[in-house]
């Protein structure tokens, strides 16, 4: 579903992604973990082309990432993204946040978009907040709306970039629970998170990044109990 081959990216002198090879199969859940500054967010942002790459290739469901225009809009629909900061439209209601994309980008009829949005809001447990503005919701509720908004585009893959790290502790699980159920329903997911509970419950594979490289890949069980590299051991000793 997602294939990166030899992906390189620089920010000026900084070689932020160094020959990244990564294949994520349909229905696979990959957790990306690694120290701050290792390139995890940049990796996510290249996959939906918020960032360009210098060399290498990225394909989504067999198709190379488009350069621009109409094709790029379709890519953005195929690749849903949920960020650390919820990024909801502040002056639109919860329901409007979820219907806007399908109406504008996919030409869905408003009535149908609303019906689908309510079903998604139901699924993430915030249907009763549909007419409120984002600021009237808790952080955990807002992040669940952000997930519903991404799902409304019927993406082929969902990217999550530290979706719970801006949340108060008591709200983390309500967001992770939604992500676990999404994983169990077979969504292809790339999740940057240090939440080991999520990795253990839902991930098929953990990818450890350091210094712009994928240093190690393993099952969650193996990675957390018996990391192979010194860099992974050192990182885990700091977060555990």
In the complex, least distance from residue 58 CB atom to ligand ADP, rounded to whole angstroms:
16
Task: Choose from Mg ion, ligand ADP, none: what does 38 bind? Cβ within 5-8 Å by kind.
Answer: ligand ADP
Stretch that binds ligand ADP, among 32-40, 104-112, 193-201, 219-227 (CB under 6 A): 32-40
Task: Choose from ligand ADP, Mg ion, none: what does 6 bind? Cβ within 5-8 Å by kind.
Answer: none
- Give dist(CA 207, CA 190) in Å, integer: 10
Would you give the distance in Å from CA 144 to the centre of its chain?
13
Work out whether 11 is an interface residue with ligand ADP (CB under 6 A).
yes
Work out whether 40 is an interface residue with ligand ADP (CB under 6 A).
yes
Indicate the SS3 state at residue 173. Answer: helix
Of residues 21, 23, 25, 37, which one binds ligand ADP by CB under 6 A?
37
- Give dist(CA 34, CA 192) in Å, integer: 9
- Give dist(CA 179, CA 107) in Å, integer: 27
In the complex, least distance from residue 199 CB atom to Mg ion, rounded to whole angstroms:
16
- Give dist(CA 141, CA 115) in Å, integer: 20
Closest to 189 (Cα-Cα) out of 132, 150, 223: 150
Work out whether 38 is an interface residue with ligand ADP (CB under 6 A).
yes
In the complex, least distance from residue 209 CB atom to ligand ADP, rounded to whole angstroms:
7
- Compute how many residues bind ligand ADP; rule: CB under 6 A: 11
Would you give the distance in Å from CA 16 to the centre of its chain?
19
Work out whether 165 is an interface residue with ligand ADP (CB under 6 A).
no
Closest to 47 (Cα-Cα) out of 26, 69, 23, 29: 23
Residue 198's alpha-carbon distances to 96, 126, 164, 214, in angstroms, are 30, 21, 11, 20
Please count the other Cβ atoms lying within 10 Å of the Cβ belonging to residue 200.
Answer: 15
Instruction: Identify residues 39-98 at the interface with Mg ion (CB under 5 A).
Output: 40-41
- Give dist(CA 141, CA 69) in Å, integer: 33
Task: Choose from ligand ADP, Mg ion, none: what does 89 bind? Cβ within 5-8 Å by kind.
Answer: none
Instruction: Identify residues 5-44 at the interface with Mg ion (CB under 5 A).
Output: 40-41
- Give dist(CA 144, CA 165) in Å, integer: 14
Work out whether 13 is an interface residue with ligand ADP (CB under 6 A).
no
Task: Choose from Mg ion, ligand ADP, none: what does 48 bind? Cβ within 5-8 Å by kind.
Answer: none
Would you give the distance in Å from CA 227 to the centre of its chain?
24
Work out whether 231 is an interface residue with ligand ADP (CB under 6 A).
no
Work out whether 129 is an interface residue with Mg ion (CB under 5 A).
no
Q: Specify the residue, 41 or 141, whose C-beta has the smaller distance to Mg ion.
A: 41
Residues at the site binding ligand ADP, with contacts judged by CB under 6 A: 11, 14, 16, 34, 36-42
Residues at the site binding Mg ion, with contacts judged by CB under 5 A: 40-41
């Amino acid at each position: 579903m997602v294939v990166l081959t030899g992906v390189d990216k620089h920010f000026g002198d900084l070689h932020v992604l160094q020959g990244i090879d990564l294949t994520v199969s349909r229905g696979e859940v990959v957790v990306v973990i690694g120290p701050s500054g290792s390139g995890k967010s940049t990796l996510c942002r290249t996959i939906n082309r918020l960032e360009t790459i210098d060399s290498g290739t990225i394909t989504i469901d067999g198709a190379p990432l488009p350069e621009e225009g109409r094709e790029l809009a379709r890519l953005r629909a195929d690749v849903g993204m949920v960020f650390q900061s919820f990024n909801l439209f502040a002056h639109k209601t919860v329901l409007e946040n979820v219907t806007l994309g399908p109406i504008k980008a996919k030409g869905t009829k408003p009535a149908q978009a609303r019906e689908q949005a309510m079903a998604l809001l139901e699924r993430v447990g915030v249907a009763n907040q549909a007419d409120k503005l984002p600021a009237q919701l808790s952080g955990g509720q807002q992040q669940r709306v952000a997930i519903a908004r991404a799902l409304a585009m019927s993406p082929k893959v969902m990217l999550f970039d530290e979706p719970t790290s801006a949340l108060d502790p008591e709200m983390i699980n309500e967001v992770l629970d939604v992500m676990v159920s999404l994983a169990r329903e077979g969504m292809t997911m790339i999740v940057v998170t240090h939440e080991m509970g999520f990795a253990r419950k839902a991930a098929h594979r953990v990818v450890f990044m350091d210094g712009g490289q994928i240093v190690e890949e393993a099952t969650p069980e193996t990675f957390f109990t018996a990391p192979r590299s010194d860099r992974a051991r050192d990182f885990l000793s700091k977060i555990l």
